[in-house]
Structures are given as C-alpha cells and as structure tokens.
Chain A
C-alpha cells in the first residue's frame, strides 16, 4: 500500500489553477518562511537546513546543508540555481517553475540570506518559455512586495535575482558547465579539482549551485523547522520528494511522496499514483533515476524509493525520474535512442565520451534497423568498458564530467537483462516490434 499521508511540501499549491500567481501565493503562506528567516541569524537558517538533512534534488544527492557549510571558510559571492533540467524523462523542475514560481523565488531569497550573498542567478532551460515568463513575473512581484531589492522587508539584507536563459544543451545541467554557460561561453564542464564551485565558481569566485527543487523545499523547512522535515522519510533520505513518472503507465505525472515509505510498485501501480500499465500489460523493466542510471527488473519493484535503498542495489534515485517499459517495449530501440541522446549531447571535450557515444549509437542503430552482427553485443560491452573501466557502479571516471560514464548504464543493463533480444535483432535482420 502506498503511503500518502505525508504533507505536500513543494506541491501544496499545485492543485489551484492560479497556483503561479502572487495573489494565490500570498494567500497560502507566501513569504512566511522568508519573514521568519530574516529574524534569524544567517547561520541559524543554514543550521535549520542542516537539521532537515535535505539532500540536493538535482541528481547527485549531496546534502544541501553541507554544501553550504563547507564553504563557510570564505564568503560566498554568488548563488546559482540550476533549473537546466534536461535528464530525459525528468520533468519535476519544469512542474515547479510553471506551477509555483513564487515558492522557488522565496526559497532562493532564503538561501541567499543564509549564505549572505547579494546576487543570485536562476538558470532555466531555454525550452521552458512559459516557466521563464512565470519566474520572471515572480521576481518582478517579489520586488514589488519588498521581498527583493534593497533592505528586504526592512531588514539589513539586500538581494538581486537575475533570471538567466539557457539555449539547449543537456551538459549545462552539470554545475561547472552551467557556470561556463552563465559566463557566456560554450557549456564545457570544467576540469576537477576543484570539485566544488564553492572553491572556484562563477568568475572564479566562490559560488553555490543548488537545484530548483532543493530551493523550493526551503520555505516549508523554515516555517516548520528542519526537525519536522527530518521526521519524514527514513535514514539518509528525509522529507518528501517529487517523482516524475513516465513511459508505459496509465497516469504519468509528477507525484510528491514521502521518501523511503513508498516503493517502485506503489508509485507505478497505486490507483492514486501511476495507476498501473495500460491494458494490464506486464512490466518489463524500469529506469529508476534518469537514463544515466542502470535499469531494474520486475524483481526489484518492492525497493523503497530512497537514496541508499536504490543506491545499494547498483543504481540511483538520480533525478527523480522513473520510466516504465512494458512487455511490448523494445529494449534495443530504447537503448538506441538513449545512446543517440548521449551522442548528440556529448560536449566533445573528452575522447572516450565523444567517440564512444557515437560508436555505440551506430552499433545500436544497425542492431535496431538491420545489419547488426552477433559479435556486436560483446563489442558494445567492450566499448562501454573503455568509457567506464570495470563497468562498476558508480562508474569509473575517464572523462571530465559524468556524462560519458553514464552512457554504459542503459547498454550494459539491457544486455545483462535481455541479451536474447539483442541476438534476436541480429537473426531477424532488425526490429520486429511494431
């Protein structure tokens, strides 16, 4: 049974048709968290987020509070909000910027206060045209309400937020690439170390980069206290989380549910959530955390939706996306399309990723469209091993960023689980799915 009793922390307004307006926002606890935060010391605000144990919602799952406190030694210059959501089948940040832009802006102001920065940037995907307009409107409204600008709500704190527009590049979701794009350059991830923009970030200055959903959690955490947030979920996975459910399900959508208390089976099959698979078909596989994550078979359906619970089984909760493949879905076609995506989006800096993604895509293409060879299956594994040696999880790194080592996930999962389908594509001279 799905556990649906937890409060809605980031999606509480989403059911209103005017959830994005300042009027609705002010009617429903708008800026209450911010007003409270401004009466606290900045480090008390940070301590509250630490107490919540809020894990970053971007994909890596790094504790947000620690990201802030690590940097305490040197003052932070800039806060950058990552809204460049491009991991395939992930659409929860899209949901947040369109449905509740004011909540995001409030969260950003709270974070900026905790970090004592006076300049924040919200970096949104260019494809989110409506979201961009709504967030810009929310920023304008915040200025009009005195929640932004000089001496916010009469306190000795000032902040400006600039809404920045991306231009279509998946790799810019990687935080150092995002910073390069924000500096007006090609979105090339930066060489590590330093591992954190907190050391060398925007314009070479200490910068904190946080995800849209992470920011959207802050107003509730400040209103209700970090302990109330930490009381939800279990283990390292506290609070609720937005899950984007897509693929072969009856009710695809964004669902906010308590961490760990629900399983993949709950979110896919519960009537109040995914509602099962169209036509009552059998589930073939799930992609649990974006196309960068290794797949799960039906035997892992009862795995709880938690960071360590999924991580312990050799995959990841990642971006909070869950894709369902049913018995009619062709895994070879799915893997071909996923590798084509990586091939398109590789920034081209590192050879294993730039060349490897293209080679794998071409082999997957000929398997799917006819012309594949029996030895292609092992050739694919060999290529994957060159990109992420040992094919372990988390993958070995041969490249500047994690885009490259994410390529093998779907290829090796699908071969491990459905090798016979790959072979059948060779013997049948291509795909036989309609």
Chain B
C-alpha cells in the first residue's frame, strides 16, 4: 500500500524514469512528499528509499542536508524572511522581528494555531524588493511591516487573493512530451555527425591540395 496518494504515486513513478539512474529523483521525490504531507514523514521516507533503491537512513541523511526539506511538521504557511546582506541593509532583521510578533511565533517555530511557521532564510535572490519575504516559496513582495501585516490578516481570513499553494507544492506545471534516447540512437546520431565532419574535412583537404598544386604550377611558370 503506497503512502503517496494515487496521483502523486503516479508522478513519483514518472520522476524515477526521467533520469538515467533512479537515485537522481531523490530531491524531486522529497519535494513531492512535502507536497502531500507538508513535511517529510516516516512512511514517505520508506517509500522514497524503495523508489530510489536506497535505504531509509540514506534518504533521511540526504534530506537533512537540505534546508527546504522539513523533518518535523510545519504550519500551513511557511513564512521565510531573508536577512542576508541586501535585505539586512534594508531592514531585514527588523522585518523578521515584526514577523515574529505578528505571527505569534519565535523564529524557527510554529504558531500555536498551527497556521504559520517562521524561518530566517538565506538570500532568496529577489534583492530589488528587499527585505524579501516568501510564503510557501512564493514571493509575496511585502517590503514594509504594514504590507506584511496586511498579508498575514488576509491569510488568517482565508482570502484567496494571493496565489499561494500548500507548503511543499513547487511545480504545478506537469511535464508533457519527453524522450529517452537510447545509447544506440545516440551512437547513430554521433556517427552521422562524424561522417559529415569527415566528409567536410576531406573536401577541405582536397581543396587545399588543389590550391597548393595551382600555386606550384604558378611558381613553375
């Protein structure tokens, strides 16, 4: 019995086939587990181990390396406030403090109602709109404390005016099309290119030889 819901399990099965080796699907599968559960659960770890041909310890050990993968439950909304250099110079630390007050949770913690988890992040690469805030990895572009407070009250009342999917959901665009070229096809493709190159080199060589012969004849004249 799969821990993943049938549609997610289908996507997991597809992910594994996209790469020459199954293990390469590790990070996308970790994200997929978070898309379903919000964080990386024990049953998901077991299933990812099976999907990638690794051990549960290996999956856990890999997941622990990456900041985006949560090994503990998180709130409905994971709020990330950047305090790295460009944001620091534009009130990032103050924004983080403000966020902690407004959300009612310490940095790195989850609010009592389970709605928000607050994180201090490294640079989120949106430095022209500093300080940078992401909610469930969507840039919300609230650069002032007031705008941030307003966003939070929207989220509290369940307003849908912000395009923020559930935590862990990263890519909602499904892959269409696709091809896995076999080694044989690749060899054939390369052979065709090599033959064309050889033909061209031979033609160039013949032309050069002809030009040299003409030069030689001219000299003899």
Contacts and interface: CB of A to CB of B under 8 A. Distances in A.
Contacts of B115: none
A181 B27 contact: yes
Given A88-B122, A94-B126, A132-B170, A186 B62 contact: yes
Interface stretch (B15-23, B98-106, B148-156): B15-23
A89 B86 contact: yes
A60 interface: no
Interface string B80-99: 00011110111000000000
Contact of A140 (B20, B170, B175, B185): B175
A341 B84 contact: yes
A399 interface: no
B65 A169 contact: yes
B27 A156 contact: no
A156 B65 contact: no
Nearest to B67: A168
A127 interface: yes
Nearest to B62: A186
A323 B170 CA distance: 29
B54 to A, nearest CB: 8
B177 A184 contact: no
B171 A132 contact: yes
Contacts of A156: 189, 192
A111 to B, nearest CB: 15
Nearest to B68: A168
Contacts of A347: 65
Interface string B114-128: 000000001111111
Contacts of B142: none
Given A88-B86, A126-B68, A136-B171, A184 B123 contact: no
B68 A41 contact: no
Interface in B163-201: 169-181, 185-186, 189-190, 192-193, 196-197, 200
Contacts of A126: 27, 31, 66, 68, 137, 170
A247 B89 contact: yes
B159 interface: no
Interface string A262-301: 0000000000000000000000000100010000000000
A334 B85 contact: yes
Given A133-B171, A149-B177, A341-B122, A165 B193 contact: no
A133 B139 CA distance: 14
B164 to A, nearest CB: 10
Contact of B128 (A87, A148, A252): A252
B31 A337 contact: no
Given A160-B178, A165-B31, A184-B25, A133 B172 contact: yes
Given A126-B170, A184-B52, A287-B85, A169 B66 contact: yes
B175 A247 contact: no
Contact of A337 (B24, B85, B130, B179): B85
A192 interface: no
B74 interface: no
Interface residues of A, number: 80
Contacts of B26: 184-185
A82 B170 CA distance: 18
A131 B103 CA distance: 28
B134 interface: yes
Contacts of B172: 133
B84 A129 contact: no
A166 B27 CA distance: 7
Nearest to B15: A162
Contact of B24 (A87, A157, A182): A182
A150 B179 contact: yes
A28 to B, nearest CB: 22
Contacts of A345: 122
B190 A116 contact: yes
A85 B178 contact: no
B33 to A, nearest CB: 11
A247 B69 CA distance: 29
Given A89-B123, A246-B127, A160 B193 contact: no
B84 A337 contact: yes
In the complex, which of the residues B62, B126, B174, B177 has the most CB atoms of chain A within 10 Å of its own CB atom? B177
B125 A125 contact: yes
B181 A160 contact: yes
Contacts of B69: 167-168
Nearest to B29: A184
B181 A158 contact: yes
B175 A139 contact: yes
A125 B23 CA distance: 19
A-B interface, 4 closest residue pairs, ranked by CB to CB distance from nearest: A143-B177, A184-B26, A168-B67, A167-B66
30 contacts: A86-B125, A89-B123, A94-B125, A119-B180, A126-B27, A126-B66, A127-B68, A127-B137, A129-B137, A129-B169, A129-B171, A130-B139, A133-B171, A134-B173, A136-B175, A142-B177, A144-B177, A164-B28, A165-B31, A165-B171, A166-B68, A183-B24, A184-B25, A185-B23, A247-B89, A252-B128, A321-B127, A325-B89, A334-B85, A345-B122
Given A167-B67, A186-B65, A247-B85, 15 more contacts: A42-B193, A86-B125, A88-B84, A89-B86, A119-B20, A126-B31, A136-B173, A144-B176, A170-B122, A203-B21, A247-B89, A321-B127, A334-B88, A334-B89, A337-B85
Interface of A: 41-43, 75, 85-91, 93-94, 116, 118-119, 125-130, 132-134, 136-137, 139-140, 142-144, 148-150, 156-160, 162-170, 181-187, 203, 244-248, 252-254, 287, 291, 321, 323-325, 329, 333-334, 337-338, 341, 344-345, 347
